[in-house]
């Protein structure tokens, strides 16, 4: 039986990857220490997801380990000797990073380095998929010519009609400390591929989402927005008239792409993994989607000051992914994704908020 090591296994993408590969017959080794609850408080707690995996998946082994623990990571990888590694553990909020800069860098950059070196020493042939972020581009996409439409911003130049490609610059832009720490990990993953010939890839995610997301205000845009809608909680819109655009990809489609990469890996690759233009929406448009599936009116407050380094418009150009892995494509629409998130919050948080 093949063995998969997944860091951040109790999180959105990590848990989806665990479930997907378990169904494919893999033995799963999940690494998670519920650090999300430390970063975001009780609302970010993922123990419920850990318990779900332990109850539902065959051949699932949980390892309570912090990826900043270098000797612990080295020992675990040497012991398990996985056939593939999926690295999703991170401090994921660009706003939160400014308050905890050392924890952010140690988790995102140093933690990734610990894992890369552990894999190089024990199983250098194992495919290594790293969840990076579109924040490696900083706010450079904001410098592109934009057009304002009724409910969203969009790119004015036909050159970007498909979205942001992997060749887009990461230099001379404001990233947030989170974006900078993820740049460090992103480049290191590429370098281990190019320098050592290891099969590695960086997946520069847009808005990764799905029904198993513990969305909070500082991270998890669509999940948190829907939670606010269901609870009648006031959602804060930060700047850009609520017309800022994000592309949303269901966690299952992320897991499907990771499976494609592991099946036919490349060395030091980079992919912008998101929903693409078809699965993009502005905050205003997300309000309407949430209302359609919940039956509740969105309550929100507009704050004129935008978040530092926030994208005005961002959606991923998926053409490179489709070219390298032609059997992969988006399989879950934005509407179906929203529907699933609404149902998940309703079943997980059954408080009458009518």
Q: Would the pLDDT of 350 be above 70?
A: no
Q: Does residue 98 fall inside a structural domain?
A: yes
* 130 within 8 A of 112, measured Cβ to Cβ: yes
In the chain, what is the greatest distance between 2 CA atoms, to the nearest angstrom?
Answer: 57
180 within some domain: yes
Predicted pLDDT of residue 242 = 97
Range of the domain at 229: 3-348
Q: For residues 278 and 193, give the distance between their C-alpha atoms in angstroms, rounded to a whole number.
A: 32
Residue 31 lies in a domain: yes
pLDDT at 352: 32
How far is residue 104's CA from residue 109's CA, in Å, rounded to a whole number?
8
Helix, strand, or coil here: 120?
A: helix
Give a three-class secondary structure readout of 286-353. HHHHHHHHHCCCCCEEEECCCCCCCCCECCECCHHHHHHCCCCCCCCCHHHHHHHHHHHHHHHCCCCC
Rounded Cα distance, 152 and 313, in Å: 8
| Mean pLDDT score, 64-87 | 98
Give long-range contacts, CB 8 A cutoff, 24+ apart: 147-150. Answer: 148/243, 149/243
- Structural domain total, the chain: 1
353 in any annotated domain: no
Kindly tell me the sign of the dihedral angle through the C-alpha atoms of 199, 202, 208, 214: positive
CATH number at residue 44: 3.40.50.720
Taking the C-alpha atoms of residue 351 and residue 354, their distance in angstroms, rounded to an integer, is 9
Kindly indicate the confidence band of residue 148, based on its pLDDT and cuts at 50, 70 and 90. Answer: very high
Q: State pLDDT tens for residues 312-335.
A: 999 999 999 999 999 999 999 999
Query: What pLDDT sits at residue 351?
Result: 37
pLDDT tens per residue across span 81-118: 999 999 999 998 888 999 999 999 999 999 999 999 99
Instruction: Please check whether residue 76 lies inside any domain of the structure.
Output: yes
pLDDT tens sequence across 257-294: 999 999 999 999 999 999 999 999 999 999 999 999 99
CB atoms within 10 A of CB 281: 24
Instruction: Give the pLDDT band (50/70/90) at residue 155.
Output: very high
- The string of pLDDT tens digits covering residues 192-229 is 999 999 999 999 998 999 998 888 887 788 999 999 99
Contact 273, 206 (CB under 8 A): yes
Yes or no: say if 14 and 6 are a contact pair by the CB < 8 Å rule. yes
- Confirm whether 354 is domain-assigned: no
Inside any domain, residue 57: yes
Provide the whole-model pTM: 0.95
Task: Flag whether 43 is in a domain.
Answer: yes
CA trace torsion 304, 273, 67, 73 (10° rounding): -170
């Amino acid at each position: 039986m093949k063995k998969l090591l997944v860091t951040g296994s109790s999180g959105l993408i990590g848990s989806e990857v665990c479930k997907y590969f378990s169904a494919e017959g893999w033995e799963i080794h999940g690494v998670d220490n519920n650090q999300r609850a430390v970063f975001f408080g009780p609302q970010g707690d993922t123990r419920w997801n850990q318990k779900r995996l332990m109850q539902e998946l065959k051949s699932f082994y949980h390892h309570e380990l912090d990826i900043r623990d270098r000797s612990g990571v080295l020992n675990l990888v040497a012991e398990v000797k996985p056939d593939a590694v999926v690295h999703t553990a991170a401090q994921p909020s660009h706003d939160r990073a400014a308050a905890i800069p050392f924890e952010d860098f140690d988790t995102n950059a140093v933690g990734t380095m610990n894992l890369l070196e552990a894999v190089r020493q024990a199983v250098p042939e194992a495919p290594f998929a790293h969840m990076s972020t579109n924040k490696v581009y900083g706010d450079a996409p904001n410098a592109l010519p934009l057009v304002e439409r009724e409910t969203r911003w969009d790119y004015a130049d036909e050159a970007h009609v498909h979205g942001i490609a992997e060749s887009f610059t990461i230099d001379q832009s404001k990233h947030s400390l989170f974006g900078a720490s993820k740049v460090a990990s992103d480049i290191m993953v590429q370098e281990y591929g190019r320098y050592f010939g290891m099969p590695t890839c960086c997946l520069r995610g847009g808005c990764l989402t799905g029904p198993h997301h513990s969305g909070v205000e500082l991270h998890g845009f669509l999940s948190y927005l829907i939670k606010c809608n269901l609870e009648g909680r006031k959602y804060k819109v930060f700047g850009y008239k609520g017309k800022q655009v994000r592309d949303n990809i269901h966690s299952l489609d992320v897991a499907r792409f990771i499976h494609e990469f592991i099946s036919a890996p490349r060395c030091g690759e980079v992919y912008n993994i998101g929903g693409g233009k078809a699965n993009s929406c502005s905050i205003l448009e997300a309000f309407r989607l949430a209302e359609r599936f919940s039956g509740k009116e969105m309550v929100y407050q507009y704050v004129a000051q935008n978040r530092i380094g926030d994208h005005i418009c961002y959606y991923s150009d998926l053409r490179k992914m489709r070219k390298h892995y032609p059997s992969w494509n988006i399989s879950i629409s934005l509407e179906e994704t929203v529907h699933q998130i609404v149902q998940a919050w309703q079943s997980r948080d059954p408080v009458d908020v009518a």
